[in-house]
Amino acid sequence: MPELSLLNIFLLLGGALLIALVAGQLVALVVGETRQLRAQSLSEHVARELLLTSLASARRAQRKAEEAGAPWNGIRKFSVARKVADRGDACSFYLAPHDKKSLPAFKPGQYLTFELDIPGQKKKVIRCYSLSDSNHPDFYRVTIKRCPPSKPEHPSGLSSNFFHDHIQEGTILDVKAPGGHFFLDTSKEVPVVLISAGVGITPCLSMMNELIELGSKREIWWFFGCRNSGDHIMKEHVAELAAKHENIRLHVCYSAPGPTDEEGTDYQHKGRVTVDLFKELLPSNNYDYYMCGPGPFMESITTALTEWGVPDNRVHFEAFGPASVKKKAAAPVTAETSAAPAFKVTFGKSGQTADWNAKFGNLLEFATSLGVALPSGCCAGQCGTCLTAIRSGNVIYANEPGSKPEPGTCLACVALPQGDLVLDA
Ligand SMILES: Cc1cc2nc3c(=O)[nH]c(=O)nc-3n(C[C@H](O)[C@H](O)[C@H](O)COP(=O)(O)OP(=O)(O)OC[C@H]3O[C@@H](n4cnc5c(N)ncnc54)[C@H](O)[C@@H]3O)c2cc1C
């Protein structure tokens, strides 16, 4: 074998080094590509899984809707299948359709309207109660709090006390189909903040239960306010859901904790639910807000949310009674709603005419002040009992009523005159 010159040795070594370098680069390239492919396939897998989850939840929702019956017109009979007492002087009623036919699906946040025959009352007593659970094939559920007398000289709440004291398992009730515009669109994925106080928990509970039932992974913040654990409606149920589902962030505020109530266990914050608390806890204000509670509570939260820069169309709320509706109606005082213009309001059948006075907040109260008896139910623009024909003129609503009146009619309990008005009453 010829002797290798030093130069040849160098050349050979250099070549080998070059080959090794190229091979190394090739291996690195292949490994890199493989890693990238793996990462890509992993993210594709995750995306596919997410898609499958949302498809499954959409299918479940569709199946539920298909299985459910059609809404009914007028009254349908329901029998009370279960009556369950809760904290906070509240009681849940599970209502099964007496005809045993299927139940139409409702949107979480909607309510049922009841027509009650209460002994001693000349007319049927009409009241709305929010559905307080998710959709179930066999029953609807409402949760009703006893309404105490507003002043010692006033009687206790008629319908709520009647429910507590006289409606038992097996009682048959007259019920109108689910309705209302305050509901959560469960097909969306936008994070939500559910805000409630006292018995205002009911529609928010339905929203949360429905999202969980559908397997939604939507971010849910739940702010609930009450005095203490004695008033804490559905305490155990909500705490259990929050413990099981990491997408639920539960924040309970007690304004007056009881001696055995423990911060961190029974409640998270001492005080009331406020927007300052949201600012402290929420990563941003970029949420859809759903709210139900006493009038002053909702008024303070909505005002502070607006100040925080939350657009109005992301804040949804429901009033349970006339007090809060009055507040809402009073909010957007414009030339049309202010007391300034001297509109004439005439009640045609009763032959009464008077100058509109904005202090009455709505046409029902104005009529009552003149001794014109209009039928009324929920006093919140929801049940449709005060529907009155308009002979001439127009009305406006500070907020869209729950049941949209036909043209040429108005819901007197939430309507305001827009100019001279003649009602068929
Ligand atoms: C859409 C909607 C959903 C609702 N959902 C729920 C729900 O899920 N759960 C729930 O518990 N409630 C709910 N409510 C409230 C419910 O409809 C009733 O308004 C509530 O139960 C009180 O009705 P009541 O007949 O017991 O009291 P009412 O008889 O209407 O009395 C109400 C108050 O007025 C006082 N009063 C009586 N007479 C006078 C008088 N002459 N002068 C002054 N004050 C007087 C009473 O002392 C009482 O404090 C909802 C309301 C609406 C509109």
The answer to whether the CB of 152 is under 6 A from ligand 1 is no
For the record, the structure tokens of 183 come out as 């509901």
Residue range(s) of every CATH 3.40.50.80 domain in the chain:
192-320
Residue range(s) of every CATH 2.40.30.10 domain in the chain:
75-148+155-179
The answer to whether the CB of 235 is under 6 A from ligand 1 is no
Q: What are the DSSP calls for 154-179, one per residue?
A: SPPPHHHHHHHHH--TT-EEEEEEEE
| Strand 395-397 relative to strand 344-347, pairing | unpaired
Q: How far is the CA of 400 from the centre of ligand 1 (A)?
A: 21
Q: Does the domain spanning 344-423 belong to CATH 3.10.20.30?
A: yes
Our CA angle for 306, 239, 289, nearest 5°, is 15
Which ligand 1 atom is nearest residue 150's CA?
49
25: left (phi over 0), alpha (psi -120 to 50) or beta: alpha
H/E segment holding residue 233? none
What DSSP character marks residue 131? B
Tens of pLDDT, residue by residue over 242-298, are 999 999 999 999 999 999 999 999 999 999 999 999 999 999 999 999 999 998 899
Residue range(s) of every CATH 3.10.20.30 domain in the chain:
344-423
The answer to whether the CB of 199 is under 6 A from ligand 1 is yes
H/E segment holding residue 52? helix 6-67
Which ligand 1 atom is nearest residue 318's CA?
1
Q: How far is the CA of 338 from the centre of ligand 1 (A)?
A: 28
The CB density around residue 295, as the number of other CB atoms within 10 Å, is 17
Residues in CB range of 64: below 8 A, 6 or more apart: 105, 135
The answer to whether the CB of 154 is under 6 A from ligand 1 is yes
Q: Does the domain spanning 192-320 belong to CATH 3.40.50.80?
A: yes
Amino acid at 243: A
Q: How far is the CA of 325 from the centre of ligand 1 (A)?
A: 13
The CB density around residue 192, as the number of other CB atoms within 10 Å, is 25
The CATH homologous superfamily for domain 75-148+155-179 is: Translation factors (2.40.30.10)
Dihedral angle sign, alpha carbons of residues 345, 346, 350, 354: positive
Tens of pLDDT, residue by residue over 346-366, are 999 999 999 998 888 899 999
Cβ 364 vs Cβ 378: under 8 Å:
no
Cβ 343 vs Cβ 74: under 8 Å:
no
Q: How far is the CA of 147 from the centre of ligand 1 (A)?
A: 6
- The rounded distance, in Å, linking the Cα atoms of 172 and 93 is 12
Which ligand 1 atom is nearest residue 145's CA?
11
User: pLDDT by residue for the chain (425 residues), tens digit each?
Assistant: 445 566 676 667 766 777 777 677 777 776 667 677 776 777 677 666 665 665 566 556 555 555 567 789 889 999 999 999 999 999 999 999 999 999 999 999 999 999 999 999 988 899 999 999 999 999 999 999 999 998 999 999 999 999 999 999 999 999 999 988 899 999 999 999 999 999 999 999 999 999 999 999 999 999 999 999 999 999 999 999 999 999 999 999 999 999 999 999 999 999 999 999 999 999 999 999 999 999 889 989 999 999 999 999 999 998 887 644 343 433 444 444 444 557 899 999 999 999 998 888 899 999 999 999 898 887 878 788 899 999 999 999 866 776 678 899 999 998 999 999 999 99
Q: What are the DSSP calls for 360-408, one per residue?
A: G-SHHHHHHHTT-----SSSSS-S-TTEEEEEES-EEESS--SSPPPTT
The answer to whether the CB of 163 is under 6 A from ligand 1 is no
Write out the E strands in 241-285: 248-254, 269-270
Tens of pLDDT, residue by residue over 135-165, are 999 999 999 999 999 899 999 999 999 999 9
